[in-house]
Amino acid sequence: MDERIFSNKCEQPVPEWDSKHRLPIDGKVGPMIADDGTIFRINSTYMDVSDQPFCSRQWIGAATLVALFGCIVGLFFSMLPYLDDRLGPQHIGGSLTLLSVSVPMMLGFGYLTFYTGRDEFFSLTRRTIRFHRREKKIFLIRRRRFFEKPGEGDICWEVPWSDRTVFCVNKGKKMGLNNYQIVGYVLDETGLIKRNFAIGKEWLESTGLEYLLAQWNYYCAYMNDGPGSLPSPMLYLSEKEDIRESFLHCVYEIDHSAGIVFRVLFMPAFLGLTFFRLLSLSTCRPPIWPDEVERLCSLDAKDIYAQPTGSTPIGWAATVHAKHRNEYPHFPRLEIADWCGQGESRNAELWAGNESPLNIEAPYPARAV
């Protein structure tokens, strides 16, 4: 589920399921702290994270091109009576029938082309979400600004890291399976949704929900305690994708743990998706932060927590090779001491229910080690 459909919920109350699965910013929601492949960079001042559509933009790129093809077909058939000179009285019935089908087809697919493609083509290579722990704010790059003034940068939101922003687990459907996302709702004075966004990626079924809860613990631990006690991310996402990196995004987005037989059989699909992802990225440019955000994010040259730097691997390919050489942690995770809730699997099952454990039990007292 693409996060951009949440725009339909603006000026509405927070959905009931989401409100019953609210994520606290000052506590732990699971027994583990871990990143699941959502981080670009991290330091003592800020942490750059992906937005939800980043890992799956190849699907939106493919949908955009299919919609564009449908629009062109509709345009062709709407012009056919003119091209074939069939506008006389003897042909008017057939021409009107053809136009009644082809014109709505052209307009409908044209709208889908614009709606799905405006953030994938001639836009930005990534829409970074920046957690700024000193300011206790989240800065979000939302859309490319084509005619920006000097220092204005791209369209950027500023969201407080406080109870004024409602963070929830959102539940949807993908290929018949439950999928979950971390969603933030910014409310207006009346308590209705003013803005919304999805952080990181999407997670499938209860197993994915385990990773989502560990991921939220990671974000909270950074904002509340800093990077000193955090485990390494699963990997540092590449900010400059090459062909190999785009291909691996498409492979791992479908199934990270699939065997060689599965990958060989689905190689044509992987190559097709890689083409769509590369085509999308080739028309885009990196995001530009406004000058005021850049000033807040100035770094100390001696920051020991600034990563990735030096020999730290960046991207899927480099990280996998580093793990094979035992130069990067295979499964970087941090267990929470004194966790008073259920085990990881059972805890995820409770969160998958109609109401989260935090709503039916006292908040979990816990501390990280």
Higher-confidence residue of 80 and 40: namely: 40
Rounded Cα–Cα distance for residues 179 and 103 (Å): 36
The answer to which of 13-17, 80-84, 279-283, 360-364 has the lowest mean pLDDT is 360-364
Mean pLDDT of 141-167: 89
Rounded Cα–Cα distance for residues 295 and 288 (Å): 13
Residue 208, pLDDT > 90, answer no
Label residue 4 by pLDDT band (50, 70, 90). Answer: low
Residue 223, pLDDT > 90, answer yes
Label residue 367 by pLDDT band (50, 70, 90). Answer: very low
Phi, psi of 39 (to 5 degrees): -110, 135
Residue 83, pLDDT > 60, answer no
Higher-confidence residue of 214 and 358: namely: 214
231 token code pair: 């485990």
pLDDT of residue 6: 52
The answer to which of 71-75, 240-244, 258-262, 363-367 has the lowest mean pLDDT is 363-367
pLDDT of residue 80: 72
Top mean pLDDT of 67-71, 73-77, 171-175 is at 67-71
Residue 165, pLDDT > 70, answer yes
Rounded Cα–Cα distance for residues 253 and 237 (Å): 13
Map residue 51 onto helix, strand or coil: strand
- Please report, as a single letter, which amino acid is at residue 95: S
pLDDT tens-place string over residues 170-181? 988 777 788 899
Mean pLDDT of 195-210: 89
Mean pLDDT of 38-54: 93
Label residue 93 by pLDDT band (50, 70, 90). Answer: low
Q: What percent of the chain has pLDDT over 90?
A: 42
pLDDT of residue 122: 92
Mean pLDDT of 206-231: 92
Residue 254, pLDDT > 80, answer no
Higher-confidence residue of 92 and 335: namely: 335
pLDDT of residue 359: 66
Q: Is 218 exposed, middle or buried (0-12, 13-18, 19+ CB in 10 A)?
A: buried
Contact 313, 236 (CB under 8 A): yes
Phi, psi of 177 (to 5 degrees): -110, 150
pTM: 0.87
Residue 362, pLDDT > 80, answer no
pLDDT of residue 368: 39
**Longest Cα–Cα distance in the chain:** 84
pLDDT tens-place string over residues 241-252? 999 999 988 888
pLDDT tens-place string over residues 312-326? 999 999 998 999 999
Contact 107, 51 (CB under 8 A): no
pLDDT of residue 56: 84
Label residue 156 by pLDDT band (50, 70, 90). Answer: very high
pLDDT of residue 365: 40
